[in-house]
Amino acid sequence: MLKKEKNLIFILVFTLTFQFRFLSLDLSPSWQWVNPYPTGEDINKVIFADGKYYAVGNCGTILSSYDGKIWEKHLTNTSADINSIAFNGQVFLAVGNGATVLRSFDGFVWNKVSFFESDNFIDISVIDGKFIAITDTFPTGGNIYFSSDGNLWGIAIKSTSDEIFYFRSLCKIGSNLYALGGCSFYDSQNGNWKQSAVIASSVDGENFEIKEYDLSPMFYSLSKNENLFVCSGYNNETLKGILLSSSNLENFEIIAQSPGETIVKEIIYNGSNFYAITSKSPFSFSSSTENYILKSDSGLNWWAVAEIENDEFRSICKGKDGFLAAGSYGTILKSEDGENFFRPTFSLKLYGWLYSSTYAKNKYVVIGTDISESGWKPIIYSSGDGIEWKKANLPENLYGGLEKIFFDEQWGKFFAVGSSMMISSEDSLIWATVNCNNISNYNDIFCNGTMCVAVGSMGDYPAFQASNDGVNWKIKKLDKSGKVHSISYGNGIWVAAGQKLNGKLKIWRSTDGIKWKKVALPSKKLTGQTARIAFGGGIFLVSTEGSYLLKSENGSDWILIEKPDKLNALPLIPSLSYKEGLFYGLAQGNGAHFISSENGAEWAVSNEFSKLFILDVKFDGEKFISVGDAGAILFGN
């Protein structure tokens, strides 16, 4: 049985076709995942068609591979989640959320096809040369559509106000196509609503026969050997995932319960054995769940052949050289014999978050928190090329996470701070504790060439720690309660941003990095829990929760910038920096967006490029490096 390592460092490489000075234009960079390879986005469906594996997933992901090891990403020009893909022998169609339909004649070049509805596509398959697609849109329900080319669509089944379908999958068995899901219908005789599982079957994709079943409120997948249909659903009383069997689709009986808090997401039959994959049950409240690849020679007795932790499977298919299973966070497992599943690609071993990064001494360095079984521990990785990474040696008995890293050119040292620790290194691999009276919680550090200042809090009070040699440090704890989150330097002035204990924004100013005074703000309504500050082009720029922005030339007089429309839907700016004439950073809404501005007032916002929570971005003059949730690392030229 394969046990998944807790290995969620992600590396992406993307190429910007413009020089950095043009980042104020509205760009949509092309992204390429390197680790976990080939993607860190959720993979929702895998198929084997036209001699290749195809995988589709979140943020417009479409990948192809001949062997499941070396993958090629295809440009889709959409950030919509792609849920399924099918091939009718001449044309590929990929479908997803927001009525997304993508078409390709070669599997390489993809173009968007207009669709007259606004449904979310769940699955697509082929019967008799026609594409059949199912949708599921809350609260109006799901429909079944058919098309010969993906351009013109007809409707086979449509939900009504009295009969609402919730389709989950399409399963082709022989010359029949089955749409599985659930149905809510109004019982006029009893005056109430009832719910049952449904299977809609068709031989032409246009005319369907619908059967309802009371044994389960929802069916998820269906497969068949020579004698037996095997179906997955869940028990209405126990809310546990179940496997059911039937000889003729008239009556089902429960044969097994899905392991743990899972449901069986998909079942396939390869001519000799059944294979099934599990996902976390929609009724599970557990923060982590083990998921499995199950096998059966008869459909009645099942056993696990692979297991993963914290991720879930979404799809499995049979290819020319074995099986391929895929799921969340880019999980891919392959097996040549159906018994031994392995990861065909490499990934670093980290389960946690990365908060900050830098590039110095020809090395990329990322820092964060590892929350594996050993507890919350600081972690640092270093790489010369962004492909091969080495785990740094840290002092023993350090607990908590690292928040910020900064390289000071004057002393030739890396400094990293977080929780109640400050550590330093000359080579990024061997780190030592900085012997100083540590403040209780560090949040940021900045060096201006002659002095380094670290900021955070001591209990409920703002704290600043300054040094002009990297060895001797002076602490200044302010009398008024609050916390300092970010610091910068410019125009001969130090400026820091943070919050009061009630969460309201607070900004401090200093001419020497030791004596600090708070400054007046143009609004008392702004919050400072996520305040970030950057200096460039002669001005300080502060971002706050809600993506509000303030600017100042002297750190004393602040102006509230009118909030740009493009940032209205992005309530958080977790990273803000300045380089070569531009402010740049990250904005978070339902996903991560790259933002840039020449003056701090007019902003370009990229399309969503990841569902992950990206926390920091830096530019070293040649490449971007971004880090974030689940150990994400992104590179960009």
φ and ψ at residue 99, rounded to 5 degrees: 60, 30
pLDDT mean over 331-337? 94
pLDDT value, residue 521: 95
Least confident stretch, 29-38, 351-360, 434-443, 577-586: 29-38
Q: What residue has token string 């010969």?
A: 148
β partners of residue 587? 593
Domain regions of the chain by residue span: 7-37+564-637, 38-335, 352-562
pLDDT mean over 529-536? 94
pLDDT value, residue 352: 83
Asked whether the beta carbons of 464 and 482 are under 8 A apart, the reply is no
HSE of 257, CA atoms in CB hemisphere, 13 A: 9
Asked whether the beta carbons of 604 and 597 are under 8 A apart, the reply is yes
- Residue 9 pLDDT > 80, yes or no? no
Q: In residues, how long is the chain? A: 637
pLDDT value, residue 32: 67
Asked whether the beta carbons of 229 and 244 are under 8 A apart, the reply is no
pLDDT value, residue 30: 57
In the chain, the amino acid numbered 419 is S
d(CA 532, CA 543): 5
pLDDT value, residue 13: 36
Instruction: Tokens for 540, please give them.
Output: 């300080």
- Residue 6 pLDDT > 50, yes or no? no
β partners of residue 560? 550
pLDDT value, residue 4: 36
d(CA 97, CA 119): 7
Query: Is the bond preceding residue 282 a cis peptide, omega within 30 degrees?
Result: no
Least confident stretch, 8-17, 50-59, 328-337: 8-17
How many other C-beta atoms lie within 10 A of the C-beta of residue 475? Answer: 15
Asked whether the beta carbons of 76 and 92 are under 8 A apart, the reply is no
β partners of residue 413? 408
pLDDT value, residue 346: 64
Q: What residue has token string 């299977």?
A: 199
- List strands edge to edge, sheet with 582-588: 572-579, 582-588, 592-597, 604-605
pLDDT value, residue 31: 60
pLDDT value, residue 289: 78
Q: What top-level class would CATH report for the domain 38-335?
A: mainly beta
Buried/exposed code over 145-182 (b: 16+ C-beta within 10 A; e: otherwise):
bbbbebeebeebbebeeeebbbbbbbbeeeeebbbbbb
How many other C-beta atoms lie within 10 A of the C-beta of residue 314? Answer: 23
pLDDT mean over 23-50? 73
Per the model's pLDDT, the better-predicted residue between 386 and 350 turns out to be: 386
- Residue 260 pLDDT > 80, yes or no? yes
Which DSSP category does 551 fall into?
A: E
CA dihedral 12, 13, 19, 20 (to 10 degrees): 30
Determine the longest span between alpha carbons in the chain, in angstroms.
85
pLDDT mean over 412-421? 94
Q: What is the pTM of this model?
A: 0.81
Q: Measure Cα distances from 594 to 82, 585, 597 in Å.
A: 21, 6, 11
20 in helix, strand or coil? helix
φ and ψ at residue 78, rounded to 5 degrees: -150, 150
d(CA 419, CA 406): 16
Per the model's pLDDT, the better-predicted residue between 21 and 58 turns out to be: 58
The dihedral built from the CA positions of residue 351, 362, 576 and 502, taken in this order, carries a sign that is: positive
d(CA 264, CA 268): 11
d(CA 8, CA 351): 5
d(CA 280, CA 417): 37
- Can you list the positions of beta strands (E) in 105-236? 111-112, 121-127, 130-135, 143-147, 154-158, 163-173, 176-187, 192-202, 209-213, 219-224, 229-234
β partners of residue 254? 244
Is the backbone of residue 482 left (phi > 0), alpha (psi -120 to 50) or beta? left
Instruction: Show the 3-state SS of 352-395.
Output: EEEEEEEEECCEEEEEEEECCCCCCEEEEEEECCCCCEEECECC
d(CA 388, CA 142): 46
pLDDT value, residue 607: 82
| pLDDT tens-digit series, residues 82-94 | 999 999 999 999 9
Strands 632-636 and 10-15: parallel
d(CA 312, CA 328): 6
| pLDDT tens-digit series, residues 40-78 | 889 999 999 999 999 999 999 999 999 999 999 999 989
pLDDT value, residue 18: 33
Is the backbone of residue 352 left (phi > 0), alpha (psi -120 to 50) or beta? left
pLDDT value, residue 608: 83
Which DSSP category does 341 fall into?
A: -
Q: What is the mean pLDDT of the chain?
A: 89
For residue 269, the surrounding DSSP H or E stretch is strand 262-269
Asked whether the beta carbons of 296 and 302 are under 8 A apart, the reply is yes
Please give the full DSSP string across 477-509, using - where no structure is assigned. Answer: E-SS--EEEEEEEETTEEEEEEE-TTSBEEEEE
CATH homologous superfamily for the domain 352-562: Kelch-type beta propeller (2.120.10.80)
φ and ψ at residue 329, rounded to 5 degrees: 50, 35
Asked whether the beta carbons of 164 and 212 are under 8 A apart, the reply is no
Return the percentage of the chain with pLDDT > 90, whole number.
65
